[in-house]
């Protein structure tokens, strides 16, 4: 059993090995971001360096190590988890306001003396972040060295590249041929005067080439780089991953396959003009470019193209949402019956059973992230995950928060529901209802087309701010089409900069998930996915609204009815009528009875 106490010697030993390597290379500090050469959110095992060194398993966090100090920078989603996992390791937790914070840069600038050197593996450091880091260090007379990978020196059994096969995303779910996507990309390249375009981000590559993989947990992508020319395209990936028939299909569309290791060599040989996204490539790749290459910096054209789902994709997503709703109805019906029988259920059972229910639905591939099932105090940790060593039994009274999702051939789902166990308290019902009001406030909003998505955040928070309440995470993130559950460019969070590329456009799918957390007591989060749809045009311009996509009842047993206005109650009843209409034809028996009971309209 890998308990926290058993991990402590390993963490201390690994930090010791890292510090010895730092001394050999005369480094005053070493920076370990949560990243890979593709700047992925979820990492293949080879690049889980921060987790291997620190023992902290959260999906985000930055580790800084000096000869005498070690700091992990993490936002509020991970504070409770990080404090527990770091206890006794000698690594201190630095609490930061959001994942976009650059507090680790400020810390390094303040604590590394002038004339010293800070090291980082440039192959996993985002170019935009590297520029901010270098500027801050140079202002203090500190040098940045980025040509080392100390993990190769200190990680004796470091995993190699993942080797899962690449598959083709086929019609009908793949609604647009890759040849058309490549033609559209090349048209944009010509408009911007680029002869070449480099892509390292895995979801952009998977979308562009209509390919999928299994190299990254929960995201159906594969490790690769891509170089697109005006009349050529090359995928750099382990060649054994591509079956012969698929290789022939790619060749017919003018796509070549080259070894993954040749990506950097090809960059060194490049000539002409190159379009790249400075936020979506690493410092190491940028530094591999010859000095005479004309670099055109802009957001990857594929980022916006894949975010704007077509009408055909939207139709598949709606079908997927109905199937996901049917799976959830089957799960919740069986779950509630088991509790009524007195079965001893744990948070781990929730994960197992909800995945099994989804697996019975057509087109299901895998979960879209690790299920979060948190009962009472565990639900107060936004990114909590039950483990065999640490989990709760679901018994007594309180609130159970379940955040889960699925990858389907026709879309990606992400939903959070909170259900009562026993009898929830008046305080729990109040918190639940205020979060519901926040979710409805944004779900019902109309907004100008092109508004910067971070500016919508306040609409959801206002019902909570009115009572002096708030939550630390963002309100919404983009969601892919059988791709990453977290997808840009849009994000609904006041911590994010309202830059032009975050503009809301028709067809974008975004989560709406306000929350409220009482540390040590309970947590509430209610999440639906919604799609931007046209909402008319006035003399003031075009407007958009949200079409709610998620189809699962919101548990009315947790609602304090007096806190809802009549218009809010009408929205909720209309939503439940839609859920019943869309999901009922897909379920029967106990699941249908549960669905009908949970979607009954509320009255005063």
**Are 332 and 469 in a shared domain?**
yes
Strands 233-236 and 294-297: unpaired
Q: What is the pLDDT of residues 122-152, one digit of tens each?
A: 999 999 899 999 999 999 999 999 999 999 9
- Alpha-carbon distance values, 392 to 15, 333, 346, 596 (Å): 32, 21, 6, 30
Report pLDDT for 100.
65
In a domain, 472, yes or no: yes
Looking at 154, 176, 202, which one is the last position of a domain? Answer: 154
pTM, full prediction: 0.91
In a domain, 300, yes or no: yes
Q: What is the pLDDT of residues 273-285, one digit of tens each?
A: 999 999 899 999 9
**Are 575 and 511 in a shared domain?**
yes
**Are 364 and 405 in a shared domain?**
yes
**Are 260 and 127 in a shared domain?**
no
**Are 331 and 385 in a shared domain?**
yes
**Are 358 and 291 in a shared domain?**
no
In a domain, 161, yes or no: no
Contact indicator for 88, 56 with CB cutoff of 8 Å: no
Report pLDDT for 412.
98
Q: How does DSSP classify residue 166?
A: P
Looking at 276, 305, 334, which one is the last position of a domain? Answer: 305
**Domain housing 441:** 308-598
In a domain, 159, yes or no: no
Looking at 283, 305, 327, which one is the last position of a domain? Answer: 305
Q: What is the pLDDT of residues 167-212, one digit of tens each?
A: 999 999 999 999 999 999 999 999 999 999 999 999 999 999 999 9
**Are 451 and 545 in a shared domain?**
yes
3-state secondary structure of 371: coil
**Are 353 and 389 in a shared domain?**
yes
Q: What is the CATH number of the domain that holds 197?
A: 3.40.350.10
**Are 236 and 317 in a shared domain?**
no
In a domain, 346, yes or no: yes
Contact indicator for 367, 512 with CB cutoff of 8 Å: no
**Are 511 and 463 in a shared domain?**
yes
Q: What is the pLDDT of residues 507-544, one digit of tens each?
A: 999 999 999 999 999 999 999 999 999 999 999 999 99
3-state secondary structure of 82: helix
Q: What is the CATH number of the domain that holds 492?
A: 3.90.230.10
In a domain, 332, yes or no: yes
Give the side-chain half-sphere CA count within 13 A for 245.
3
**Are 222 and 87 in a shared domain?**
no
In a domain, 118, yes or no: yes
Count how many residues are written for the chain.
604
**Are 300 and 323 in a shared domain?**
no
Mean pLDDT taken over the chain: 94
Question: Per-residue pLDDT averaged across 58-78, rounded?
Answer: 89
In a domain, 337, yes or no: yes
How big is the CA angle at 477 (ends 542 and 373), to the nearest 5 degrees?
Answer: 140
Taking each helix axis from N to C end, the angle separating 566-583 and 426-443, rounded to the nearest 10 degrees, works out to 80
Question: Per-residue pLDDT averaged across 554-576, rounded?
Answer: 97
Q: In what order do the strands lie in the sheet with 487-492?
A: 446-448, 541-548, 528-538, 509-512, 476-478, 487-492
Strands 70-74 and 92-95: parallel
3-state secondary structure of 459: helix
Give me the number of domains the chain comprises.
3
Q: What is the pLDDT of residues 392-442, one digit of tens each?
A: 999 999 999 999 999 999 999 999 999 999 999 999 999 999 999 999 999
């Amino acid at each position: 059993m890998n308990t926290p106490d058993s991990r402590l010697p390993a963490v201390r030993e690994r930090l010791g090995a890292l510090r010895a390597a730092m001394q050999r290379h005369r480094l005053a500090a070493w920076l370990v971001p949560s990243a890979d050469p593709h700047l992925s959110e979820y990492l293949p095992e080879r690049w889980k360096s921060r987790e291997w060194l620190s023992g902290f398993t959260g999906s985000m966090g930055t580790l800084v190590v000096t000869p005498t100090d070690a700091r992990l920078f993490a936002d509020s989603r991970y504070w409770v988890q990080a404090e527990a996992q770091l206890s006794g390791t000698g690594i201190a937790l630095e609490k930061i306001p959001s994942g976009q914070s650059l507090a680790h840069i400020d810390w390094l600038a303040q604590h590394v003396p002038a004339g010293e050197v800070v090291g980082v593996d440039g192959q996993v450091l985002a170019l935009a972040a590297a520029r901010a880091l270098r500027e801050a260090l140079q202002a203090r007379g500190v040098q940045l060295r980025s040509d080392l990978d100390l993990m190769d020196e200190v990680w004796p059994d470091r995993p190699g590249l993942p080797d899962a096969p690449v598959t083709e995303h086929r019609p009908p779910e793949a609604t647009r041929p890759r040849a058309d996507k490549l033609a559209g990309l090349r048209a944009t390249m010509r408009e911007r005067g680029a002869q070449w375009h480099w892509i390292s981000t895995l979801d952009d590559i998977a979308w562009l080439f209509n390919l999928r993989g299994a190299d990254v947990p929960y995201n159906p992508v594969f490790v690769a780089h891509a170089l697109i020319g005006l009349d050529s395209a090359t995928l750099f990936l382990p060649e054994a991953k591509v079956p012969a028939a698929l290789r022939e299909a790619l060749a017919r569309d003018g796509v070549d396959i080259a070894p993954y290791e040749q990506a950097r060599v090809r960059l060194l040989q490049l000539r002409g003009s190159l379009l790249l996204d400075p936020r979506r490539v690493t410092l190491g790749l940028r530094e591999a470019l010859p000095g005479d290459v004309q670099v055109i910096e802009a957001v990857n054209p594929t980022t916006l193209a894949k975010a704007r789902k077509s009408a055909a994709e939207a139709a598949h997503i709606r079908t997927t949402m109905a199937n996901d709703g049917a799976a959830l109805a089957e799960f919740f019906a069986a779950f509630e019956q088991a509790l009524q029988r007195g079965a001893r259920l744990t948070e781990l059972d929730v994960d197992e059973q909800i995945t099994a229910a989804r697996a019975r639905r057509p087109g299901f591939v895998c979960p879209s992230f690790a299920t979060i099932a948190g009962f009472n105090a565990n639900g107060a940790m936004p990114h909590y995950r039950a483990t065999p060593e640490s989990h709760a039994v679901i018994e007594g009274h309180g609130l159970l928060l379940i955040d889960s999702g699925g990858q389907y051939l026709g879309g990606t789902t992400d939903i959070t529901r909170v259900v009562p166990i026993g009898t929830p308290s008046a305080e729990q019902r109040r918190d639940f209802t205020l979060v519901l009001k926040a979710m409805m406030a944004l779900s019902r909003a109309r907004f100008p087309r092109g508004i910067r998505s971070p500016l919508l955040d306040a609409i959801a928070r206002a019902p909570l701010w009115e009572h002096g309440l708030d939550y630390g995470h963002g309100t919404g993130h983009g969601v892919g089409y059988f791709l990453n559950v977290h997808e840009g460019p849009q994000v609904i969070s006041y911590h994010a900069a309202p830059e032009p590329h975050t503009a809301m456009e028709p067809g974008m799918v975004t989560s709406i998930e306000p929350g409220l957390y009482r540390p040590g007591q309970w947590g509430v989060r209610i999440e639906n996915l919604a799609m931007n749809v046209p909402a008319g045009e006035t003399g003031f311009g075009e407007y958009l609204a949200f079409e709610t996509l998620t189809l699962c009842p919101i548990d009315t047993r947790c609602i304090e009815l007096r806190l809802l206005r009549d218009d809010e109650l009408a929205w909720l009843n209309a939503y439940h009528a839609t859920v019943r209409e869309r999901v009922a034809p897909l379920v029967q028996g106990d699941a249908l009875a549960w669905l009908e009971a949970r979607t009954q309209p509320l009255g005063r």
